Structure 1
Amino acid sequence: MLPRRFLVIQKVLGALLGLSSLFFVPPLTLAIALREDTVVAFAETFACAALLGLALWWPVRRLRYELRLRDGFFITTFAWLLAAAVASIPFMLAEPRLALTQAMFEAVSGLTTTGATTIDGLDHLPRSMLLYRQSLNFYGGMGIVLLAVAILPMLKVGGMQLFRAEATGPGKDTKLTPRIAGTAKALWLVYLGLNVLCALAYWAAGMNLFDAVCHALSTVATAGFSTHDASFGYWNNPMIEVVAIVFMLVGGINFGLHYVAWNRATMAPYQKDTELRFFTLLALAATAAIALALWLGGEISGLAGAMRRAAFQAVSNLTTTGFTLGDFSLWPGFAPLLLIMLAFIGGSSGSTSGGMKVARVVMAVRQGAREVKQLVHPKGQFIVKMGGRRVSERIVLSVGAFCTLYLLCFMGVMLALTATGIDLVTAFAAAAASINNLGPGLGEVSVHFGTMPPAAVWICSFAMILGRLEVFPVLVLLAPSFWRE
């Protein structure tokens, strides 16, 4: 018989698998209402997930055991893998009837809020399948925020609470509610409210109700799936683009700030947050630089038109949403490369964005500047500050370790992709788009990932999970010491 801790892990994974069966209820309901051919696929997948989850949970439902931190890492990683495996089934059973490799990629991309796709012909898919794709973005968007609240602070490497407690804000802003369950509920309420507001704004700006709801699910989640192959280029509507920019920025901000601001009915938390200030300045600087590149490169006649496209794409890539107005890989000068590099920074810690997060990047830069000063003045005493407060050496070292491992993982993914035979530009862009949860890239993956060889698609699927779980929970499982008692 398995040790008690493994049986309790089975119990937790069974409960999570059963919970994931709820993914299929909304699209199944819509498929029944519209009498689409996807009814059987969603019904069978719902039954499969529910029964398998019940089979794992029921025999060990009464067991009690206090799980250790290492068990939490195992459960977190495998819960995402199980959810992705189950979520891939409808893509194989119904239109677009993908092969296993592409179906798993689509599910992982949706749940990790990457927004990359292997599907060409979204405009012709059944509405229930389109809603299903968008809902995966919705579930994955809040999933990472709750992970940051419950798991990542234990690693001492980041997440929503880390920089709140150690650097930029008062301690009372760290614990949103006395218990994790209360925090999760509070964040879900904020998340749901923002999704409703976003859907209403899209509808008022000119989208039909179905598209408005679907795109709200992927905008606040900074995810990037769309119901049209042309993404936001389908509408060519400035008002819709403004709504997207606003809510992409909202999704890229620490959700703890949203909650505190809403709970206290004040904008003060936003005004005092150092990370948000850098995030805003970065978005403005990137917009200006890309607008100049478009204007001076002759891509767009008129500075206003260049600013419009630059603002949308800069915010989309910085927040790792991945919406597009067209193929930005064809833009002149440094613009395409800058857009890809923005995704490495990402949004704020505790947001739905991917990337390394603004706070970490700022802290790493300030640590580098401190080392330069130390070389010039060997006897000087220099400290790293965030928000006017000193950052502990433990946090500085943790951030340095995270950034180093993150970039090493990116290089490893890129080298693995080149080994499958794809060109260097595509390998670079695909690795960056996957590990940063961005979506669109350069070269062959500027529009979709459907032309990549199967091995490369599996590598990108792994990279998306690696990036979304912020490297450490996955790498911990690869350490031999993890498996020793």
Structure 2
Amino acid sequence: MHLGMIFKIIGILLSAYSISLLPPLGIAALYGDGAFHSFAATLLLTAAVGGSLWYSLRHEKGDLKIKDGFLIVILFWTVLGMVGAIPFHYAQHVQLSWTDAIFESFSGLTTTGATVISGLDELPHAILWYRQQLQWLGGMGIIVLAVAILPMLGIGGMQLYRAETPGPMKDNKLAPRISETARTLWYIYLLLTLACAVAYKLAGMSWFDAIGHSFSTVAIGGFSTHDASIGHFNSVAVELIAMVFMYLAGINFALHFTAWRTLSPRPYWLDPEFRTYTLLLTSGIVVSTLYLWLTSTYADPLQALRYASFQTISLATTTGFASTDYLSWPAFVPVLLVIMSFIGGSAGSTGGGMKVIRFLLLFRQGLREIVRLLHPNALIPLKLAGRVVPEQVISAVWGFFSLYVFIFAAIGLAIMAFGIDPVTAFSAAAATLNNLGPGLGEVGSNFATMPDPVKWILTFAMLLGRLELFTLLVIFTRAFWRS
């Protein structure tokens, strides 16, 4: 293991991250709302530590091995989560405990959207901006991680996606070089963010709210600058814009690239994961709308459609925005939407959950087993879009699913051990492991009431879900540390 190169890269990444603290620092100076010193100190500390690491190890050279790649990814997300907590701890009018500050920081970077902060409308502008920016940076990190970095390490959703699914975008990279791949993804991500911000502004938001919400919408994060979330604006236009961009952000970004390159929507419809993703959201909207209308939760079917559509897309894509108090709805709908968050977005998107491609393969495998009961000696290949899926891929999907369910149950039980009721415990586990944000019960809108040990468990769950389990768990194996 080449520790010198690993810490050199961490130093470079930290130095680069320090630059991202300039916008909130400028906003703090502009508004003079008491957060300037905390951001200035964080910027200087991050730049100093990162610069020192790089400078002291600048002569280190050598090729990185797969183990080194795993460790870089894990260390960077962990270190960044810790550094990101500093402004939350020291800024005036916030001053969270270290546990709460770290929880909030990891929630932003992993685009989970769970929060321990209330009274957002009274917070300093710089802190509000910083929360949104954390999610935006985390969302881009997820895309590059999923599409460009993890495949080189032989892990991750996109590695699985390329192995399972035919189509034009199953090459190792979108562009010949990894730097070109990352740059292409940045352009797409930035373009979606700018389009979302302009649309929000035209719908009546201030520029501050428009840009802030575009950050968390495209990142599928769910943080808002207001306690009432999207419901603060009470605008059908704002809700429609949010739904469109949440839907787009939940699609594999490789498909966006292909559609843009070919100037055709055809690549979307040829992709089985996209079709399944769209079908699941549509089905969820139809079921939720009919249930809310038939139970007289909303007398007007159009009003039922409005709120059901928004909350279905928001929770199923693991964004976590709210346009109304959906927790007061009949329990069937909120529970249904939390269950849908286990499927989440597409591989190579900013969405959380297990990913639609894995759900699709599990469903097809289930159907194949039913057929095998009738024809036990038949050879029945599992196909997607006319191509046979290798058996090792099916085994990998089953392994991931089994581990996901086991970890979810273990986290839920661990939370219950601290005296938390089952609904709150298991919905909190789902909300963090799926990178969803809001749960049910006591964590429907805020996690502040959770004991500190529970917050640490949930912080670990956020990171575990964001790095797709194996990436993080591999370092806890004995084989990883053998030379």
TM-score for both structures, normalised by structure 1 = 0.97
Q: Match of 1:283, as an amino acid?
A: L
Deviation at 1:303, TM superposition (A): 0.9
Name the amino acid aligned to 1:17.
Answer: L
Aligned partners of 2:276 and 2:356 also within 8 Å:
yes
- Match among 13, 22, 27 for residue 25 of structure 1: 22
SS for the counterpart of 1:195 is: helix
DSSP-derived class of the 2:225 partner: coil
Aligned CA distance change for structure 1 residues 371 and 460 (closer, same or farther; 3 Å): same
Say which SS state the counterpart of residue 342 (structure 2) adopts. helix
RMSD: 1.3
* Equivalent position of 1:305 in the other structure: 303
Q: Does 1:159 align with 2:186?
A: no
Counting matched residue pairs gives: 482
* 1:170 to partner: Cα distance: 3.0
Name the CA distance, whole Å, in 1 between partners of 2:226 and 2:172. 39
Residue 4 of structure 2 corresponds to 7
Other-structure match for 1:290: 288
Counterparts of 1:167 and 1:193, CA distance in 2: 27
Distance, in Å, in 2 between the alignment partners of 1:165 and 1:412 is: 30
What is the correspondence of 1:81-230 to structure 2 with a 5 Å cutoff? 81-94=78-91, 95-154=93-152, 156=154, 158-170=156-168, 175-230=173-228
Which letter maps to 1:152? Answer: L
Contact 1:156/1:398, CA 8 A, preserved across alignment: no
Partner of 1:405: 403
Moved more, 399-408 or 439-448: 399-408
- Whole-angstrom CA distance in 1 between matches of 2:467 and 2:363: 23
Q: Distance in 2 between matches of 1:20 and 1:416?
A: 34
Question: Counterparts of 2:317 and 2:20 in 1: how far apart (Å)?
Answer: 25
2:235 is matched with 237
Contact residue 243 and residue 313 of structure 2 kept, 8 A: yes
Deviates more, 1:314-323 or 1:414-423: 414-423
Structure 1 residue 405, shift from structure 2 partner: 1.0
Shift of 1:20: 1.8
Contact 2:229 2:323 in 1 (8 A): yes
Aligned to 1:453: 451
Instruction: Report the Cα distance in structure 2 between the residues aligned to 1:110 and 1:362, rounded to whole angstroms.
Output: 29
1:13 CA drift (Å) = 1.4
Q: Does structure 1 conserve the Cα–Cα contact (< 8 Å) formed by 2:147 and 2:173?
A: no
The answer on 1:376 being equivalent to 2:374 is yes
| Cα offset, 1:14, TM superposition | 1.4
What displacement does 1:226 show? 0.1
Instruction: Using the TM superposition, name which of 402-411 and 214-223 deviates more.
Output: 402-411
CA distance in 2, matches of 1:321, 1:174: 28
Gaps of 5+ in 2: none
What does 1:11-90 correspond to in 2, within 5 Å? 11-90=8-87
1:292-322 residue CA offsets vs partner (Å, 9 max, x unmatched): 2211222111111101101000000111000
SS at match of 1:190: helix
Give the conservation status (yes or no) of the 8 Å contact 1:410–1:432. Answer: yes
User: Which of 309, 312, 315 is residue 313 of structure 2 equivalent to?
Assistant: 315
Q: Which amino acid aligns with 1:62?
A: H
Specify which of 381, 384, 387 is matched with residue 385 of structure 2: 387
The farther-off stretch of 81-90 and 10-19 is 10-19
Q: Normalising to structure 2: TM-score of the pair? A: 0.97
Say whether the 8 Å CA contact 1:112–1:141 is kept in structure 2: yes
1:223-242 Cα shifts (integer Å, max 9, x gaps): 00000000011111101000
2:261 corresponding residue in structure 1: 263
Q: How does 1:313-462 map to 2 (within 5 A)?
A: 313-462=311-460
**1:142 touches 1:352 (CA, 8 Å); kept in 2?**
yes
The CA deviation at 1:59 is: 1.0
Q: Which amino acid aligns with 2:143?
A: V
* Structure 1 position 326, deviation (Å): 2.6
Question: For each residue in 1:321-340, what CA deviation from the matched residue of structure 2 results, as whole angstroms up to 9, or x when unmatched?
Answer: 00012332221141011011
- Kindly indicate whether the alpha-carbon contact (under 8 Å) linking 1:11 and 1:57 is maintained by their aligned counterparts in 2: yes
Aligned partner of 1:238: which letter? V
Match 2:272 to one of 271, 274, 283: 274
What amino acid is aligned across from residue 12 of structure 2 in structure 1? A
1:151 is paired with a residue whose SS is helix
AA in 1 matched with 2:43: F
**What CA distance in whole angstroms lies between the structure 2 residues aligned with 1:431 and 1:78?**
23
Give 1:356 shift.
0.4
Instruction: After TM superposition, give the deviation of residue 150 of structure 1 in Å.
Output: 3.1
The structural deviation recorded for 1:7 is 1.3
Relative to 1, partners in 2 of residues 1:287 and 1:321: Cα closer, same or farther, differing over 3 Å?
Answer: same
Distance 1:179 1:426 in 2: 46
How far, CA to CA, are the matches of 2:181 and 2:163 in structure 1?
16
Secondary structure class of the residue paired with 1:168? coil
AA in 2 matched with 1:390: V
Q: What SS does the aligned partner of 1:308 have?
A: helix
Q: Distance in 1 between matches of 2:316 and 2:153?
A: 25
| Residue identity opposite 1:93 in structure 2 | Y
The answer to whether the 8 A contact 2:113-2:319 is kept is yes
**What's the % identity of the aligned pairs?**
49
